[in-house]
Structure 1
């Protein structure tokens, strides 16, 4: 089976999933038209809309299954979908959050959420109607995204974020470290709640000794080198779920703080070790880790085990292949 991923690379997932599929003996590659400072390269063909247009017929001829991401397909306006459907090729859409986060729906269970980088509700709705005329099943990373698309597709699968653990060497926090390093890495500061993170950091500095680094606009591979030295990682404190940065932090053996909506907690495995933190309790949650180095190590160990169990690309690809096998042409 030859598997196409495209056309928007989010959090390195097209490349990671393609790599895992290739290791299983399939041919998979991501065609990416979204280029950012993160610099993802693995298992990707970085192109643009013109390049997709030029290679359109070859792509349609070459692949058996089309795994689309972030509400994008080969052509503007989804004009490729009727032909792919006519050729009886399998298709699935992978939604990641901001592409489908309806503003009013997001606020029902989350007073903190920022949706300023999501399209207007009407635009999301119209796009989903066009997609689901031809694509009947979707994938989402968690149940925070699930609610936005569940009424549009015949079936929505929850597939955790994937990570290649081979790229993440364990480095637990040192109990004896006099000045712990807190690290925050926002790709979008408004979405991640960076204002509240740094307001908390300034308040903590009045009473506690530690260092703080904000990683921003840095290539992903370079950023990982900084993550390794962190003792505490603060991810997103507004969204209501955790993202790739949380997964990477746990993979490195770090304690991670992020906001998990109370109604979503039962939807995750019961051993999720993330320190649940929102703007109202962030000070106390960070303080708890600053004054208890043993807890930092304990959570770091639990986090690594959690990622091995649920986010390793070897585990995730098994679930993905099961989804693929049941897709209808």
Structure 2
């Protein structure tokens, strides 16, 4: 099978999923029009919207299945979807969060939710309406995103974030380290809740000896090298679910502090090894990790096992191929 991924690379997922599909004997490639300092490049064609629009006919003929991401397709007004549908090619849309996080809806179960990165509600609704005229099934990473799109599609599949573990050798926190290192890496400080994180950090400095580093605007390879040095990683404490930073941190054997909405905890696999913290509790949760080096090590080991069983690309791709097969049966 020949699989097209496009057109917005979020958290390296187009490339990772394509590499896993290639390992399974398929041809898969991502076409990315979103370029950032993170510098994703594996199994990707980094291009622009003009190239895709001009070459859409060739690409439609070349590929069997179109796996779109972040509510984007080859054409800005989704005009390619009618052409793909006419060719009877399979399509699915993969939503990642800010592309569909309706503002008021996000606040219903989460008073901390930040939606400043999402377009206006009317824009998201219009895009979803245009997409679902031709695409009947979607993928989301978790049930936080699921709620925003469930009423637009005939079927929505939940597929965990994928990670290539060959690039992540665990380096568990040492119980003997006297001055632990806390890292926080906000791609968007407002979305991650950085002001609340750093307010807690400043307060903790009055009682504990540790080093704190805030990592910003570095490419992905450089960031991973820094994560390996950490003893505690604080990720996003507003969204209500975890993202790629949490997955990569757990893969490296690090304890992770992230906010998981109470109503969503049961939707994840049992014994999710994340220290659950929101702006009101982040001080206390980081403090318990500072006070307990054995807990840091234990959570690091649990996190690595969790990623191996839930987020390893070889585990995820089997679920993805099952989703693809269901699309073929349902259309």
Same fold flag (TM > 0.5): yes
Pairwise TM-score range, normalised by the shorter structure:
over 0.9
**CA drift at 1:158:** 0.3
Matched, 1:107 2:107: yes
CA distance in 1, matches of 2:144, 2:194: 20
* TM-superposition CA deviations, 1:288-319 (whole Å, max 9, x none): 00010000000000000000000000000000
**CA drift at 1:54:** 2.7
Show the counterpart of 2:153: 153
Show the counterpart of 1:189: 189
CA distance in 1, matches of 2:286, 2:209: 12
**CA drift at 1:280:** 0.5
**CA drift at 1:4:** 0.1
Where does structure 2 lack aligned partners over 5 or more consecutive residues?
A: none
Matched, 1:199 2:199: yes
**CA drift at 1:113:** 0.6
CA distance in 1, matches of 2:202, 2:29: 44
Show the counterpart of 2:4: 4
CA distance in 2, matches of 1:310, 1:235: 19
Matched, 1:42 2:34: no
CA distance in 2, matches of 1:70, 1:78: 13
**CA drift at 1:56:** 1.6
Show the counterpart of 2:221: 221
Write the mapping of 1:247-266 to structure 2, written as runs, cut at 5 A. Answer: 247-266=247-266
Show the counterpart of 1:57: 57
TM-score by length of 1: 0.99
TM-score by length of 2: 0.99
Show the counterpart of 2:291: 291
**CA drift at 1:270:** 1.5
Show the counterpart of 2:21: 21
CA distance in 1, matches of 2:123, 2:52: 24
Show the counterpart of 2:130: 130
CA distance in 1, matches of 2:311, 2:299: 17
Aligned length: 329
SS in 2 for 1:223: helix
CA distance in 2, matches of 1:96, 1:217: 21
* TM-superposition CA deviations, 1:190-239 (whole Å, max 9, x none): 00000001111000000100001111000001100000000000000000
Q: Please provide the CA RMSD for this pair.
A: 0.6
